Amino acid sequence: MQFPLLSVIVFTPLVAALLILLMKPERKTEVRVAALAAASFALLLSIWAFISYDQTAAGYQFVEKYDWLPLLGISYHVGVDGMSTPLVLLTGVVMFTGVLISWGVDDRPREFFAFLFLLAGGVFGVFVSLDLFMLFFFYEIAVFPMYLLIAIWGWKVTREYAAMKLTIYLFLGSVFALVGALAMYWVNYQNTGILTFDMLQLEKAGFSSQFQYLWFMPVFMGFAILGGIFPFHNWSPDGHVAAPTAVSMFHAGVLMKLGGFAALRVGVMLLPEGAKQWAWLIFGLAMVNVVYGAFIAMIQTDLKYVIGFSSVSHMGLVMLGISTLTPEGLTGAGLQMFSHGVMTALFFASVGMIYDRAHTRMIPELGGMVKALPWVAIAFTIGGLVGMGMPGFSGFVAEFPIFMGVWKTQWLAAVIASISIVVTAAYILIAVRRVFFGEMPAQFEGHMTPISPLDKIALVTLVLLMTGLGMFPNLMAPMISLGVQNILRLLGGA
Amino acid sequence: MDFLNTHLLTSILFFPVLAALVILFFPKDQVKLIRWFTLGATLVPFVLSLLLWAGFNPAAQGYQFVEQYPWYDAIHSSLHLGVDGLSLTMVMLTTLLTPLAVLASFGITDRVKAYMMLFLFLETGMLGVFLAVDLLIFFLFWEVGLVPMYFLINQWGSANRNYASLKFMIYTMAGSLGLLLAIQMLGVMFQTYDLAVLTQKWNEFNPATFLGLPITTVKAIAFWAFVIAFAIKVPVWPFHTWLPDAHTEAPTAGSMLLAGVLLKLGAYGFLRLVLPFYPAEAQRFAGWLAFLAVMAIIFGALGSYAQDDFKRLVAYSSVNHMGFVLLGVAAAAKVAGTVDATIALNGAVLQMFNHGLSAAGMFFLVGVIYERAHTRDLNKLGGLFPVVPVYGSILVFTSMASLGLPTLNGFVSEFLVVRGAWAAMPVYTALAMFGLLMTGAYILKGIKKVLHGPINEHWAHGEHKLTDISTREVLVIAPLMALMLILGIWPAWLLDVINKAMSMLF
């Protein structure tokens, strides 16, 4: 029997969460070591999956399928294609770095890591699910711990508000998507007489155009809320700000990708006619995300809000790329999901390190951090260059094809969206300068302890990924192109 | 050696980055080691580009030493490098000026490690633009070179550096937006970024309408998108306002490379991309380009004359001198294919090289005096010749080269530009001559305000006594002076390469 790679990846964090809960709460160091061991293991396996994905064979690989509830046509069916393999890798990376920088969490670390791993397991599960029911199952597993993580370990000022807002938004979205999914399930049964949630079957269901027109928007938007699509993006910056550092990393780094990915997998791939019908609307909303998000980010004074809204803008590019339904746009969207995930993880890790020491995130109150925290300054700056789409970094190799896709769809939109590039450059440069350069305010004198070696490992890992992908896009782009070809095939070779 | 022969361009291009990564592991306080290592590391590309020069065949068509590696298959872009006579000249200029700028930076004591690493990154950024024969790679290096310059100004600049560095960055990035969009459009249309293929396909592309607009309109818009991106970098009036600010705030060596090489990137863009991509549009809008060029020449000169800050004076002189490059380009576009056009282009390219020498020299000399007097205010200087006689002589020599005195290099190139432009656009040429007169005025003003007049007691004695230029500083300027003189007396060795490239290209 083939080694069940994907199952091991998915269940490593889930089992680890259970085991960690069994440990004694006061043995904090052991809890942390166990968490790090599990995260490293999951990272290694996801790297393995990324490397051993066979690009000549393409298609879904490492497939496992077991009946789960055959009566209702539910099976445990997992597999990855060119689109999801990089996202599995991303989750592994964010999980690993998230544990590293959470070493200092002193308030109930046992429960913290357990919930974090529950979240990670859910995320892994969504990325590898080929069964619609399983996808929802893991989706809810991923969303639910967010509430607790934010409400318990979050920023005291807004955590209850933000946790509630986030949960309500996301559950509301998933309800719409779930209703759409059930409609697909039922109509497929009526057409074929087979009860199945298997997405590979549903792809071939041949839903009528009317059905697709009707259900595409609820399904796509239901998931896209988690991707922060306008006008339902509002929960996201609040959630980022209130969440503890590692949770922010997860939230922006992989959870928002979950929205983009599921919208693509369920919305576009199962309802391709609907996608073609409504692409213009998604396109328009995503345009608002891109441009409006950048302007809103520019006027923020809280560093975490700056990054929160920059995520809205950058995730808008993902949606924009998807909505072009072109090879370039979709490839760019896939790359942007990975690049943005690594970048925001880095941003939030850096902000967390500053906040832990300065106890403020207000940009006007900060300054001169480069002397005390040079590693953070350099890492954040490189993240900033990625964010502004500087060539040579991963942001550029992702955004450039997206723009090419936009050119193919509506050239005027490319011109308008390009405004965001300059706005983004401006707010990132200004934030970097104010926070890291200039004079350090006197009250921070003596509080700026150096970051730990674990923090450094996390920062270096993330930086290497962004520069590596920026300089060698061929490391990942061909794999994503394979996934894109499959999507285009479903779209009828568009 | 075999590796070197087949990978000469990649070696030149990436050696500085490798050196920077090595420096990363040096201890911060080993300042001396870092300085000397950087100097050595920047001399390697210089030596390699001498090899390149020796192996280059000026008479051969097309790009030489071509290397191509896969880079981004999904959008059909590859790391495709090559040189012709035009890029070779610019590569020589870059690899020559960078070690001199590093040597000029030995006085920097603040965060030497980061400073030197940024310089090495900057060198790779600049070289990449000149070596790229893939449009996307060109753009990549074009943009990425901004980053080290931004930080050099922002971190090692003087008082108003935040404003100047942000203005520099945002101005250039905003200016490049049109270029970026046009590149995306070309990539979508032709599914390739290879310069040679793209040039050919784009010129053959002639449907009646495209994107719902008449093709002439589309091409005109794309033409201006390219022109604005490059015009900002040159900089051409009225896009020049970032330059005096950036120069005034930048550290000396930063200014040397900014004026010496970075401005050439813009001019290079005109020659490498605008003229080959848009011969018809360039011809159609040649009058406008010439108008902008002449405005740059005249206003650059007038602006320069009006300054009280020595460095601003030199900064505006760049606007003035680079105007001649654009004038040559405009004239060549107007009468493309004629002997006049080739002469004008020869002048333009030689002027790029010459301005690289003289502007780097002038900024360095401003830096030398600033380091000692801690002021660049021309009203506070003056009467320094007897105090610093060696420096004074060098300053007069370099100024004369910048002014265009016959037997020095500036004269040759400006003469060629004017000779080429004369028949094509006599009125603009005449106006440019008026600007040239003003060049004389501001340069003499600069010399007078710094060196001449009664001996300046403030700087001659006591605690403010100025010391003369040091040996290290002479070593920085001496190669530049030697080249100015050689090119003034015997320009043929360089002009021959340029001429062959220009007659083959256009």
pLDDT digits (tens, 9 = 90+) for A136-165: 899 988 888 888 888 888 888 888 888 888
Whether B173 and A474 lie within 8 Å, measured CB to CB: no
d(CA B20, CA A458) in angstroms, rounded, equals 23
- Collect all residues of chain A within an 8 Å Cβ-Cβ radius of residue B188: 328, 404, 407-408
For helices A477-490 and A84-101, angle between their N-to-C axes, nearest 10 degrees: 130
Q: With a CB-CB cutoff of 8 Å, which residues 448-477 of chain A face chain B?
A: 472-474, 477
Q: Write b or e for each residue in A268-304: b if 16 or more Cβ atoms lie within 10 A of its Cβ, otherwise e.
A: bbbbbbbbbbbbeebbebbbebbbbbbebbbebeebb
Whether A430 and B166 lie within 8 Å, measured CB to CB: yes
A441 inside domain: yes
d(CA A134, CA B487) in angstroms, rounded, equals 75
Reference A226, options A312, A293, A299, A349; nearest CA is: A312
Distance of residue A424 Cα from the nearest chain B Cα, in angstroms:
10
Reference A256, options A172, A185, A313; nearest CA is: A313
Burial (CB count <10 Å: 0-12, 13-18, 19+), residue B337: exposed
A494 pLDDT band, cuts 50/70/90, is very low
Calculate the alpha carbon distances from A266 to A191, A263, A343 in Å: 19, 6, 26
Which residue shows structure tokens 């003035």? B320
pTM of the model: 0.91
Structure tokens at B450: 């710094």
Q: Which of A390, A409, A428 to probe the B interface (max B CBs under 10 A)?
A: A390
A494 inside domain: no
**Does position A220 have pLDDT exceeding 70, yes or no?**
yes
Whether B188 and A437 lie within 8 Å, measured CB to CB: no
Distance of residue A426 Cα from the nearest chain B Cα, in angstroms:
7
CA angle B487, B489, B495 (to 5 degrees): 45
- Collect all residues of chain A within an 8 Å Cβ-Cβ radius of residue B71: 472-474
In a 3-state reduction of DSSP, which class is residue A127?
A: helix
| Pair A271, A219: CB distance under 8 Å | yes
Which residue shows structure tokens 């009860």? A195
| Pair A408, B170: CB distance under 8 Å | no
A453 inside domain: yes
How many CB atoms are located within 10 Å of the residue A264 CB?
27
- Collect all residues of chain B within an 8 Å Cβ-Cβ radius of residue A478: 73-74
Alpha-helical segments (H) within B272-388: 275-277, 279-284, 286-305, 310-334, 339-373
For helices B426-451 and B286-305, angle between their N-to-C axes, nearest 10 degrees: 20
Q: Which of A418, A456, A467 to probe the B interface (max B CBs under 10 A)?
A: A418
A278 inside domain: yes
The torsion angle over the Cα atoms of residues A163, A167, A170 and A171, rounded to 10 degrees, is 180
A331 interfacial to chain B (CB closer than 8 Å): yes
Tell me chain A's radius of gyration from C-alpha atoms. Answer: 21
d(CA A237, CA A477) in angstroms, rounded, equals 29
Q: Give the count of domains, chain A.
A: 1
| Pair B75, B18: CB distance under 8 Å | no
- What is the residue-wise DSSP string for B17-49? HHHHHHHHTS-TT-HHHHHHHHHHHHHHHHHHH
Whether B75 and A391 lie within 8 Å, measured CB to CB: no
Whether A408 and B188 lie within 8 Å, measured CB to CB: yes
Whether A404 and B70 lie within 8 Å, measured CB to CB: no
Burial (CB count <10 Å: 0-12, 13-18, 19+), residue A356: middle
d(CA A139, CA A67) in angstroms, rounded, equals 20
d(CA B88, CA B64) in angstroms, rounded, equals 10
Whether A478 and B144 lie within 8 Å, measured CB to CB: no
d(CA B76, CA B99) in angstroms, rounded, equals 35
Q: Closest partner residue to A478 among B74, B147, B170, by Cβ? A: B74
A493 inside domain: no
Look up residue A118 and give its amino acid. Answer: L
- Collect all residues of chain B within an 8 Å Cβ-Cβ radius of residue A426: 166, 170
Tell me chain B's radius of gyration from C-alpha atoms. Answer: 22
pLDDT for B43-87, tens place per residue?
999 999 999 999 888 888 888 898 999 998 888 889 999 999 899
CA A373 distance to own-chain centroid: 27
Strand pairing partners for B80? B68
Distance of residue B70 Cα from the nearest chain A Cα, in angstroms:
8
- Collect all residues of chain B within an 8 Å Cβ-Cβ radius of residue A403: 180-181, 184
- Collect all residues of chain A within an 8 Å Cβ-Cβ radius of residue B147: 385, 390
Q: Which of A120-124, A366-370, B48-52, B150-154 has the lowest mean pLDDT?
A: A366-370
Question: In terms of CA atoms, which chain B residue is nearest residue A429?
Answer: B166
Query: What's the domain range around A182?
Result: 5-488
pLDDT for A2-57, tens place per residue?
788 888 999 999 998 898 888 887 788 888 888 899 999 999 999 999 999 888 88
- Collect all residues of chain A within an 8 Å Cβ-Cβ radius of residue B144: 390-392
CA B294 distance to own-chain centroid: 19
A342 inside domain: yes
A374 interfacial to chain B (CB closer than 8 Å): no
The torsion angle over the Cα atoms of residues B274, B275, B280 and B281, rounded to 10 degrees, is 30
Whether A391 and B139 lie within 8 Å, measured CB to CB: yes
A64 inside domain: yes
Residues in contact with B190: Cβ distance below 8 Å, sequence separation at least 6, in sequence order: B197, B198, B201, B202
A425 interfacial to chain B (CB closer than 8 Å): yes
Reference A99, options A455, A449, A461; nearest CA is: A455
Half-sphere exposure of A415 (CA within 13 A, CB side): 8
CA B483 distance to own-chain centroid: 16
Distance of residue A19 Cα from the nearest chain B Cα, in angstroms:
41
Q: Which of B24, B110, B122, B140 to probe the A interface (max A CBs under 10 A)?
A: B140
Q: Which of B13, B68, B75 to probe the A interface (max A CBs under 10 A)?
A: B75
Phi-psi region of B453 (alpha: psi -120 to 50; beta: other; left: phi over 0): left
Structure tokens at B224: 């201006």
Whether A421 and B139 lie within 8 Å, measured CB to CB: no
d(CA A129, CA A140) in angstroms, rounded, equals 13
| Pair A387, A308: CB distance under 8 Å | no
A71 interfacial to chain B (CB closer than 8 Å): no
Structure tokens at B270: 């005109």
Question: In terms of CA atoms, which chain A residue is nearest residue B173?
Answer: A422
Question: In terms of CA atoms, which chain B residue is nearest residue A330?
Answer: B74
Q: Which of A55, A396, A432, A482 to probe the B interface (max B CBs under 10 A)?
A: A396
Whether A414 and B139 lie within 8 Å, measured CB to CB: no
**H/E stretch holding B77:** strand B77-83
- Collect all residues of chain A within an 8 Å Cβ-Cβ radius of residue B218: none
Whether A403 and B170 lie within 8 Å, measured CB to CB: no
The residues of chain B scoring below 50 in pLDDT are none
Half-sphere exposure of B204 (CA within 13 A, CB side): 8
Q: Closest partner residue to B162 among A433, A472, A474, by Cβ? A: A433
Q: Closest partner residue to B74 among A401, A407, A411, by Cβ? A: A401
A181 inside domain: yes
A375 interfacial to chain B (CB closer than 8 Å): no
| Pair B325, B370: CB distance under 8 Å | no
Reference A337, options A160, A168, A480; nearest CA is: A480
d(CA A181, CA A267) in angstroms, rounded, equals 9
Q: Closest partner residue to A474 among B73, B150, B162, by Cβ? A: B73
Structure tokens at A368: 């001169």
